[in-house]
Structure formats: C-alpha cells, structure tokens
Copies of this chain bind each other. A is one copy, B any other.
Amino acid sequence: MSEDTSTREAIMEATFRALAKHGYADLTVQAIADEFAKSKSLIHYHYDSKADLMVAFMAYLLDEFIAEVEGDEDADPRDRLRHMAEIVVRGLDDEEATRDFHAALLGMRAQAPFDEDLQGQLVENDRLIRGVVADIVREGIDAGQFRAVDPERYAALFRSAIEGAQSHDVILGDDAPTDAAFAGIESYLIDDLLATGESDLRADADDA
C-alpha cells in the first residue's frame, strides 16, 4: 500500500467516526481532523472540499461493502443474500454506533438531489450493488436453488427493501419495526426464492 493510499484510508476511517458522532449536516472538515491522527492539512491536500470528501467516502463505503460480500463467494446464494441484508439492515455489532452512522447516511442521501456529484456516486453504488444481487440470483437459479425470477427486477426490489428497513430503523428509532421487517425480508424475499419451497410458509402454500 502506498503512503497516499494509507493516508486516504485513514481519512476515510476518520470520516466514518466523525459522521457517526456529528451527523451529516453538522459535519465539518475540522470534526474529521479531530478523528485523524495526522495533520489536518493532509485532508485538504487530498480533498478539495467537504463535498469532494463525501463523494470519496461513498466510493469507499461501496468498496468496503463489495469486499465484505466477496468474502462470501463460496457460500450458497441464499446465505449470501441473507448476509447482505444483515449488513445493510443490522449493521455493525455496536447497535448505537450503527444507528448513528445510518442516521448520517440518511442525511447524506437526503442531500443527493441537491448535489450532482454525490448523486452521481450514489447512482454508481446503486448500479453496482444491484448488479451483485442480480448475479447472486442468477447463480441461484442456475444451480437450481432459486425459482426463475427476473434477476434485475428482483434486485431493485431487494435493494429498496433492505435500504428502506435501514432508513426506518433510524427514522423511527426504538419504535422501529426492524425485527419484523428483517424477518419479512428473510421469509418473503429470500426463503420464498427457494425453488423447493424449503421455508415453512412456502411449504404450507405448496401443500394447499
């Protein structure tokens, strides 16, 4: 890893911590510098503005997500979809830090309609993530594990559902129906894909 790469990565990690602490609207380069062991001038050297840094941060998050999901490549398609849903809806082990970070993400997304560069990066993230979901679904169909759904249509729905559940968890706080939403994703989006009707409810329907 070049020194530049490791500095950029350290800035991204500092951005992650600063976002969880301050939220998106109140985030300043100073707040990121406070989480960063090296000189603040290095942040300005690598990124022209907060907007520029946010675009880079969303690209970084995408890379992290893809790396996490690629680690599953030997798992079966059903488990890979479930793991993706877990990462997005449940997040990190630390529940409070997860919610703070998701709140910052939501604030950033809400700003995208007013920030062309940020929106462009989020469009790219969306395309890539939907592509990964569609590939997993195609693989499941080819292997005979999943029934024959339209992979692109399914991927768009899956992404709406997992990000919708993540947003609701933040928006509604402790009263959010996150457990029910996650169970719904597992039962009716993932297990219902199974060609063999392995889930109980699917089996009930097949018996009828």
Q: Which A residues form the contact surface with B (CB < 8 A)?
A: 23, 99, 103, 106-107, 109-110, 112-114, 119, 122-123, 126, 130, 147-150, 152-165, 167-168, 170-173, 175-177, 180-181, 183-185, 187-189, 192, 195, 201, 204-206, 208
Contact = CB atoms under 8 A, between A and B. Distances in A.
**Mostly helix, strand, loop or mixed at chain A's interface?**
helix
A208 B144 CA distance: 10
A109 B106 contact: yes
Nearest to A105: B110
Contact of A147 (B150, B162, B172, B204): B204
Contact of A163 (B158, B168, B184, B185): B168
Q: What is the oligomeric copy number?
A: 2
Nearest to A134: B180
Nearest to A165: B160
Contacts of A110: 103, 106-107, 109-110, 171
Given A148-B204, A150-B201, A208-B147, A160 B156 contact: no
A163 B167 contact: yes
Contact of A113 (B103, B164, B192): B103
The list of the 3 closest CB pairs from A to B, nearest first, reads A164-B164, A157-B184, A160-B164
A167 B162 CA distance: 12
A23 B114 contact: yes
B126 A184 contact: no
B165 A180 contact: no
Contacts of A160: 160-162, 164-165, 168, 181, 184-185
Contacts of A154: 184, 188
Given A113-B103, A164-B161, A184-B157, A172 B204 contact: no
Contacts of A201: 147-150
B181 A157 contact: yes
Contacts of A168: 126, 159-160, 163
A50 to B, nearest CB: 16
